[in-house]
Amino acid sequence: MFDLLVAGDANPDVILGPLDAPLAFEQREQLVGGGALTLGGTAAIMACGAARLGLRVAFAGRVGDDDAGRYVRAALNARGVDTAALRVDPELSTPLTVVLTRDGDRAILTAPGTLAATGGDDVPESLLAATRHVHFASYFLMPGLAKALPGLLRTARAHGATTSLDTNDDPAGLWDPDGLSAVLAELDILLPNAHEARHLAGDAGGSLEAVAAALAARGPLVAVKNGADGALCHDGDRLVTTGGITVTPVDAVGAGDSFDAGFIAATLNGLLPDRALEFAAVCGALSTRAPGGTTAQPTWDEAVAHVTTKENTPT
């Protein structure tokens, strides 16, 4: 029996930066202050964060039969994530992402590889029946998995599991309102960042509080990540907010995924949404202390120690 099944994307990340000028073409070579090869993919980073917090975690997805895929599997295993359901595609390559950082922001370039081929069959029903919670990530990068998601969520809930989703960004800019309606109806927890929440709600100009309330009215509890300003949560009746903690950030890649891991771990450990939100914000902030999404993810005790210094404001 697992505490958490995570399904979605897993790939190596090559992180370079910071750039001190616009990216140059015409065969120009630019030097940056640092670089790292690390485990990437929203789902993979979330799975590692949850395992670091003490959950028993399984991962379902697809990689290629290549060195990048073997790196992904080894990295997940090293962090305590079960990869028995991480399938090997004999034809397509493992996804690969390059992250370029500049002035506190980042550009992300991804070669999708196996992402488009990942579908509902890559998530075994035996795992859906053997876990307390199921989390899906990168909805817009995997259209096959997205199409199967309502049915997978129903199956998980029929077996007694709770469910969550972090859609992440939509590179096409469409945000799939029709498909998402069916997903939200079967979802317990939605975990967007502020940018994503506005697009998912179709309300780019409204207050973030109103956006969260509108999404919560469609079914799930909604926890919205808002960078250095902390986070907020709406359950359809009540809004809760929390501020961030002070850290010296080195790399914000994966901070939102570590937030997701913290929120789900806290919820599975019996914390109510206000305390889970506070704990998740701490997990996201602490993950920025080192390059890459997984290097600085906190343990449960480490996150709890930082939570005691924070204030939580229910409204």
The residue extents of the domains of the chain are 2-314
| Sequence letter at residue 55 | L
Distance CA 127, CA 13 (A): 27
Give the model's pLDDT for residue 311.
47
Neighbours of 205 (CB within 10 A): 7
Length of the chain in terms of residues written: 315
Distance of alpha carbon 171 from the chain centroid = 16
Looking at 138-142, 166-170, 172-176, 213-217, which range is the least confident one?
172-176
Among 94, 151, 152, which residue's Cα sits nearest to residue 123? 152
Q: pLDDT tens for residues 42-61? A: 999 999 999 999 999 999 99
- Chain-wide mean pLDDT for the chain? 93
Q: Which residues pair with 53 in a beta bridge?
A: none
Distance CA 138, CA 171 (A): 11
Is the pLDDT at 309 greater than 60? The verdict is: no
Distance CA 230, CA 237 (A): 20
Distance CA 243, CA 251 (A): 19
Looking at 84-88, 90-94, 235-239, 308-312, which range is the least confident one?
308-312
Give the model's pLDDT for residue 190.
98
Neighbours of 29 (CB within 10 A): 5
**CA separation, residue 27 to residues 21, 34, 285, 303 (Å):** 15, 20, 37, 45
**pLDDT band with cut points at 50, 70 and 90 for residue 204:** low
Among 4, 34, 8, 10, which residue's Cα sits nearest to residue 20? 34
Average pLDDT score over residue span 155-159: 98
Average pLDDT score over residue span 205-220: 91
Give the model's pLDDT for residue 106.
82
**pLDDT band with cut points at 50, 70 and 90 for residue 312:** very low
Q: Which fold has domain 2-314?
A: UDP-N-acetylmuramoyl-L-alanine:D-glutamate ligase (3.40.1190)
